[in-house]
Structure 1
Amino acid sequence: MIVTCGEAVVDFLPEPDADGRPLFRPVLGGSLYNVALGLGRLGVPAAYFWELSTDPFGTWLASELEASGASLAHTTRGDRPSTLAFVDLSGDEPHFQIIDAGQTMSTLDPAGLGPLPPSARLFHTGSAILALEPGGTAIERFVHETAKTVPVSLDFNVRPPSIRDLDGYKARLDRLVGSATIVKASAADLAVLEPDMEPDAILARWRTQGVPLGIVTLGGGGAIAATADHWIRLPAETVTLKDPVGAGDAFMTGLFARLWERNALDRTALGALGEADLTDAIAYAQKVAGFVCRHAGAVFPWRADLEANDPTAAAPGD
Structure 2
Amino acid sequence: MSTTSRLLTPDTSAAPAGVPPERRFPAGRAWARVRHVALPSGSLLLFLVLWQLLAASGTWSETLVPPPAKVWDAFVAVSTTHDGVRGYNGTTLVEHLGISLRRIAIGAGLGIALGVVSGLLMGTVGWLRSLFEPWITFLRTLPPLAYFSLLVIWLGINEEPKITLLAVAAFPPVAVSTTTAVAAVSRSLIEAARALGASRWDVVRDVIVPSALPETLTGVRLAVGVAYSSLVAAELVNGLPGIGGMVKDAANYNNTPVVLVGIIAIGVSGLIIDGLLLRLERAVVPWRGRA
The TM-score with structure 2 as length reference comes to: 0.23
Higher strand residue share: 1
Q: Which has the higher contact order (CA 8 A, sep 6+)?
A: 2
Higher helix residue share: 2
The structure with the larger Rg is 2
The TM-score with structure 1 as length reference comes to: 0.22
